[in-house]
Amino acid sequence: MTLRFSFRNALVCLLVLLGSLSLVDAQTTASSSLVISMTVQSSISLEFVNSSNSGEGYCQVTGAGTSTASLNLGIASISGDNESCVIFSSTSSQYSISNWTYLEVTESNSSSSSYTLTASLGSAPPTGVAWQIAAMPSALTTSTQTVTASEAYATQYGMYLEVTVQKTAASGSLNEAINFTATAN
């Protein structure tokens, strides 16, 4: 009788102990959910790049790799230009400065295989000054004109940019902003 009672007590103690152990060892969890959403849109990017070429006709732009770059064509007159990277020519009535300018258009999430490039001047140039891209039939104006109707993505597109200044043009800054727009075909 005494032995049986002791065994029962021992069993109870064991159960209590096991219960305590399971409480100590139990890992507790908590859960949550986060629903994320987005809408992906097709997009294209235009950025100016520098040519790997150098020398006459290959002035480097500042801001390469971005969509806003600057090109310094120097100080010029009918007698010449102080920038050696430009191509200079003159006649008795005018002079011209030319330079290769490059841009690259990339596309994302689009099945378009080509793009159309247009250009326009930010403001009308002074009298006697004309800006032209060689591939275009006429000088740039403040109206949008097509530079190329079908150009491949992710390749450098070179434009031969030329400014012609008549000797009658007033001296002073001829700064000009040329706006380019690429549109997926």
Partner 1 sequence: MRACKLRQLGIVAAILATGTCASLAAQSSSGTLNVVLQNGSGLQMVLNSDSSGVTLGNAGTSSATLGFGTVGAYGTLATNVTRTNQTNTFTVSTFFDVDVAESGLSSTSYTLAATLSSTAPTGLTVQIDSVTLSTTSATISTSGSYGTNVRHTLSVVVSTAASGSGGPTTGTQLSSTINLVATSN
Residue 144: half-sphere exposure toward Cβ, Cα within 13 Å: 10
Instruction: Give the one residue of 4, 5, 22, 23 binding partner 1; rule: CB under 8 A.
Output: 23
Give CA 115 to chain center in angstroms. Answer: 15
Could you tell me the smallest distance in angstroms from the CB atom of residue 42 to partner 1? 5
Stretch that binds partner 1, among 12-20, 27-35, 89-97, 117-125 (CB under 8 A): 27-35
The reply to whether 43 sits near partner 1 by the rule CB under 8 A is yes
> Could you say which residues in the range 60-119 bind partner 1, by CB under 8 A?
106-111
Q: Which tokens in the block code for residue 163? A: 């400014």
Q: Is the CB of 47 or the CB of 176 nearer to partner 1? A: 47
Name every residue whose Cβ is closer than 8 Å to that of residue 150 and which is 6 or more positions away in sequence. Answer: 114, 115, 116, 185
Could you tell me the smallest distance in angstroms from the CB atom of residue 165 to partner 1? 36
Q: Is the CB of 35 or the CB of 170 nearer to partner 1? A: 35
Rounded CA-CA distance 127/169 in Å is 6
Q: Is the CB of 3 or the CB of 30 nearer to partner 1? A: 30
For residues 42, 68, 185, 133, the Cα torsion angle rounded to the nearest 10 degrees is 180
Instruction: Give the one residue of 1, 2, 22, 35 binding partner 1; rule: CB under 8 A.
Output: 35
128 DSSP assignment: T
The reply to whether 22 sits near partner 1 by the rule CB under 8 A is no
Is residue 182 a contact partner of residue 105, using CB atoms and an 8 Å limit?
yes
The reply to whether 25 sits near partner 1 by the rule CB under 8 A is no
The reply to whether 155 sits near partner 1 by the rule CB under 8 A is no
CA 9, 11, 15, 20 dihedral sign is positive
Is residue 64 a contact partner of residue 46, using CB atoms and an 8 Å limit?
no
Q: Is the CB of 28 or the CB of 127 nearer to partner 1? A: 28
The reply to whether 26 sits near partner 1 by the rule CB under 8 A is yes
Q: What residues line the site for partner 1 (CB under 8 A)? A: 23-24, 26-45, 106-111
